[in-house]
Amino acid sequence: MISMTIRQLFEQINRGYWPYAIILAHIVLGTAMVYSTPRSSIAFLVLITSFFSLYYFKADIRFKIIVGAILALIVIPIVGVRNIFYLEVIFQVCVFAALALGLNIVVGFAGLLDLGYVAFYAVGAYLWAFFGSQQFYVLHFAPGTQPSNLPFLLPGDAFYLFLFLAIIVAAFTGILLGLPVLRLRGDYLAIVTLGFGEVIRVLANNLDKPLNFTNGPQGITPIQRPTMPETVVEWFNNVFGGMIGHKASTADLYNVMFYFFALMVIIVIIFVTRRVDDSKIGRAWTAVREDETAAIAMGIPLVRMKLAAFALGASFAGVMGVLLAASRTFISPESFSFMQSIGVLSMVILGGSGSIPGAILGAATVTLLNLQILQGFSLYLSELRQSDAVIPLINFAWRDLSTQLDPAKYQRLLFGLILILMMIFRPGGLIPAKRRKRRLASDQATAEQ
Amino acid sequence: MALLETIDITKVFGGLTAVNKVNFKLEPGQIVSIIGPNGAGKTTFFNTLTGIYSPDGGEINFNGRSLLKLRPDQIAARGISRTFQNIRLFGEMSVIENILVGMHVHLRQSPIATLLHLKGFKNEEAEAENKAVELMHYVGLRGVGNELAKNLPYGAQRRLEIARALAADPLLLLLDEPAAGMNPQETEDVTKLFRSIRDDRGTTILLIEHDMRVVMNISEHIIVMDYGEKIAEGTPAEIRSNPRVIEAYLGRGAVAGQHEEKLS
């Protein structure tokens, strides 16, 4: 009943010039709110959600692209440099969006449940971590015993080369994993990929002897970044300094740079994914997902198609791994735990398995929930615990609550609840996958005479 | 030369011999039916031909080359297409896409051309789409190109499966109970369709069917299986009067009864 009226209302305003006005108002409101209260996470959410009104409302595609570009390339960096935490959140959203898009190919398109997806992310990260740090010269030292004046193996600008190398290395790892296991179906495949993910993490944890490749649980640091010319920092401060209010440092600009890289990778991924999905390979993936037996009877080489999905998905994760290693300058096996794989999978499922905008929205929703909304919520509860407040109705003081029931622990519980409710009320995900409609001019309902 | 020839083909599941030393030859351009009671091994025989099962003994030659040791997709690429007893469409894909999947083996589409939408790619896709629409019309489906396959009515799904199989331009079309669950009118229509497929396209057709009106109406040659063995083969008229066939279908008493009638 209520949803019907909301939908009608939405239809009402989603025509004519209304969408343009709403989108612009949303952006202006968000920007103004972030400007006036830079620390408020609500203000930040208002700004971030303007991307969704840009996606949802009907408007000219050129308008959408231009406004989206201004928002992503100018507004976000300025707001982000003003409050660097926002930029970090947005960078994380981008990283996870890219990972979700990659996993979406494997899970959503080809229907292969992969529970160890971050393994490929780790491969990319450790690839650059090893070659972009002093680790090469640390090979013969146990972790923690290396001298401090070691040189770097490669210059920081080799980063760009490794972005491309990671594609190949991660894709190769994907094929390596795929070859022995892709004869397995469904549950069995999921278990093996889970194992593979753990194997990579354990390898990273233990490859500090006999030769110290990964520096074990301590992780590798410092990892180099590509060079940032002073002139860029100066230019940025000259042009945007007034709007930001303080002088942007080189570190700030690095954050902006990695955010731009992440955006670029996402755009490339979307482009590649869409092109491939609209070709015989994409159709073959969907066919394999729908019915393996029928697909193979139509002449689709099952193993090769599954390998292609694995390799493509893996290569995207590999690129993001390199980006992560460079942006953090530090990586350790902890970042590639099983929970990360599950997290990315939940983004894909929540957003809508097989749907490109869905994967992005899923990644944004889960990341924002974890970093902003739920954290804010548990912070609020903790404050209640510190104060004299009582739970209404039962008149129970928050501070008397036992530590086992610490409200800060409700964060995961709430997240789980949200996932369950989503799957009950919207099993297809936030933006369910749709098949592309073809024009089919010659397909008339009645025969032409 | 025979298009398809099986020599002593055998398939065993545990202690059960589902297909037992079946020899048979299929000439190009023929329409041949395989009949037999439930569990006679007909579908297993199909699955052995298409490579879903690998035979435990014997030899299969298609178009002059052995099919043993080939994967199902390689066999499909050699020119054998099939439909399934229980319809197996790609339900979440549109009608046109289902047919396009059938064309998979004929589409070239290099990765570079796919990513950059080169002219060759675009032309091939457009051509494939046109051909898919033609095929869709050919099997009698109109104006449903963008419908999801799962939303089609039953009879239309059966037709779509045939269109998908034809999309690969097969030399041999295997139809597993294509008229199952259809009413008499629909049955008559698809029977006509099969004959026109053979006449228009020269496709050889091998079908499994229980509906004797279809079998007797369309087949030039009939093979009868029972308990995994080929028990008879011949023209419809020969099969109709073959005592072993009648026995297999109606039981031993029926044949005895027939003899008694003749005697009296």
pLDDT digit string, tens, across residues A45-66 = 888 888 888 888 888 889 999 9
Radius of gyration of chain B (CA): 20
Same domain, B155 and B177: no
Count the neighbouring beta carbons within 10 Å of the beta carbon of residue A412: 11
Residues of chain B found within 8 Å of residue A448, distances taken between Cβ atoms: none
The token pair at A149 is 């004046």
Q: CB–CB of B77 and A299 under 8 A? A: yes
Tally of helices (H runs) and strands (E runs) in chain A: 20, 2
Work out the mean pLDDT of chain A and round it to a whole number.
88
Q: Which of B118, B138, B169 is the last residue of a domain?
A: B169
Same domain, B103 and B223: no
Rounded CA gap, B99 and A175, in Å? 29
Same domain, B235 and B213: yes
Same domain, B183 and B258: yes
Q: CB–CB of B90 and A299 under 8 A? A: no
Min mean pLDDT across A178-187, A262-271, A322-331, B90-99 is at: A178-187
Q: CB–CB of B76 and A276 under 8 A? A: no
- pTM for the model: 0.90
**A·B CB contacts under 8 A:** 120
pLDDT for res B254 = 57
* Number of domains within chain B: 2
pLDDT for res A1 = 60
Is B84 inside any structural domain? no
Same domain, B183 and B65: yes
Interface residue of A298, A300, A438, A446 to substitute, partner B, most B CBs within 10 Å:
A298
pLDDT for res B255 = 53
Strand ranges for B190-242 from DSSP E: 204-208, 221-226, 229-234
Same domain, B134 and B214: no
Contact A240, A78 (CB under 8 A): yes
pLDDT for res A163 = 94
Min mean pLDDT across A125-129, A382-386, B16-20, B151-155 is at: A382-386
Specify the 3-state DSSP secondary structure of A179. Answer: helix
Q: CB–CB of A302 and B73 under 8 A? A: yes
Same domain, B261 and B183: yes
Same domain, B72 and B32: yes
Is 80 exceeded by the pLDDT of residue A185?
no
Same domain, B58 and B146: no
Same domain, B212 and B258: yes
Contact B129, B102 (CB under 8 A): no
Q: Which of B116, B140, B169 is the last residue of a domain?
A: B169
Q: CB–CB of A435 and B77 under 8 A? A: no
Residues of chain B with pLDDT under 70: 252-264
Q: Note the pLDDT tens digit of each residue in A197-233.
A: 999 999 999 998 888 899 889 999 899 999 988 888 8
Q: Note the pLDDT tens digit of each residue in A230-251.
A: 888 888 888 888 788 788 888 8
- Domain carrying residue B58: 1-79+170-264
Distance from CA of residue A309 to its chain's centroid?
18
Q: What is the 3-state secondary structure (H, E, C) of A268-307?
A: HHHHHHHHHHCCHHHHHHHHHHHCHHHHHHCCCCHHHHHH
Same domain, B72 and B181: yes
Residues of chain A found within 8 Å of residue B109, distances taken between Cβ atoms: 279-281
pLDDT for res A146 = 83
pLDDT for res A318 = 96
User: What CATH number does the domain containing B64 carry?
Assistant: 3.40.50.300
In single-letter form, the type of residue at position B44 comes to T
List the strands of the sheet with B16-26, edge to edge.
Answer: B16-26, B4-13, B57-62, B65-66
pLDDT for res A448 = 46
Residues of chain A found within 8 Å of residue B99, distances taken between Cβ atoms: none
Local confidence band at A384 (pLDDT 50, 70, 90 cut-offs): confident
Is B130 inside any structural domain? yes
CA distance B260 to chain A (A): 49
Same domain, B199 and B254: yes
Q: What's the whole-number mean pLDDT along residues A8-15?
A: 80
The token pair at B255 is 């044949």
Is B85 inside any structural domain? no
- This model of the complex carries an ipTM of 0.91
Is B228 inside any structural domain? yes
